[in-house]
Structure 1
Amino acid sequence: MQTKNNAVIAISALIAILTWFALILQFYLSMTAYLAKGRTLGGSLVEFFSYFTIQCNLLTAIGLTAVAVSGFNKSFFSRRGVLTAIAVYISIVCLVYNIVLRGTVHPVGWHRVADELLHAVCPPLFVLFWVIYVPKQNINWKDAFSWLWYPFFYLVYILIRGSLSALYPYFFLNAVNLGYPQVFINIAMLMVVFLAFCMLYVFIARLITRRTAA
């Protein structure tokens, strides 16, 4: 048991360090670029933290750090249900970027390093950590619906911010270019995808729990 605990601490710490590094690198690169364009510090910070990718990678880094420091279920971010919700969110970040957005951006140099870490390296590592180490007892179907609140409020925030600033972090949410009817359709499709992934993770959690108990 002690060996397993040590492994959890070590692995969660390593993935947390890698994720924090990617976030700090992206923060430096983005803020430098925003300020060079004459953006205010406040506007630059809002722009940076308005990306779902940044928010979700920040959640993974916080969750992994909480596990490395005090183990599972010792704080809000180390609860099994919270870690499972984060796994859902970061999975969608990874899939949407690599399926929908990868061809629209072409970063180079350190920008490429940060981009790959945040979209193609750290997310799968977190999901793998969830599969292998996160306790999954008492994760129920009803939990899937509560996990939808975060992406729902995020999308509402993006629409409100966009209506005030005409700035949207993702093209499929851009009401200026697409119009609100199409954006609402895109949001409805996104929420269906989120719900499907929530259900999938509950199913996987229950399946692993049954096999472990057998």
Structure 2
Amino acid sequence: MRSFLIALSFLTRLPVPRIDASAADFARAVRLYPFVGLLIGALVAGVAWAGALVDPWLGALAGVLAWTWVTGALHLDGLADLADGLGAAHGNRDRLLTVMADPHVGSFGVVALVLQIAAKLVLLCLLLPHGALAVMTVPAAARIGPLVWAWRLPPLRPGGLGASIAGAVRPRDLFAWAGGLIALCVVLPPLAITPLVLLALGAWFKRRIGGVTGDVHGAGIELTETALLVALLAQP
């Protein structure tokens, strides 16, 4: 429960009891990120479904607003930082990391944010008629990503979030969440694409960036969520 509350306090704006947590505690909490994702998904799906009773676009807008609020735009921030870094680096990894660390948002980041929010808005509107369960599972499946990327890729910033969780992921955690994902795929077969999305993003992060940071994890979650929404929409 302690690790879950730490993960919940880090990944969401939901009120939780104050917990004094060390860097190691935050690192261990990564193992429960998918549980937090399921809670995020339940909130987003519920709000979107309620809005869709009036109009599908209103439901989609309500869902995106809830998604952004409950996560505090944490992962959107990572996506914007990664876009700015890739856009300004011109192949220079040191410059890429420097730009990603800059708290200001540049034009590449703004474009990435607009496209991501627009994509979620349209995809939610189209997906809501298929049921709330599909929407609810997406944030949970996407948050398996940090476990996979932390296990496969080197951290780029010593002492950063990527470095702190790198040693916290155990093989049994990956096997456990793989089993949970298989169970979800029985109900929602399109989620079977999740491992391919996570591995493809991991390979891209390794080739273009050389490893992972906290921003990369956040960007990866956002990109995975969009890919899974598309996959769910494509089901017959």
User: If the length of structure 1 is used for normalisation, what is the TM-score?
Assistant: 0.31
- Which of structures 1 and 2 has the bigger CA Rg? 1
Judging by fraction of residues, say which structure has more helix.
1
Structure number with the bigger relative contact order (C-alpha 8 A, sep ≥ 6) is 2
Q: What's the TM-score once normalised by structure 2's chain length?
A: 0.29
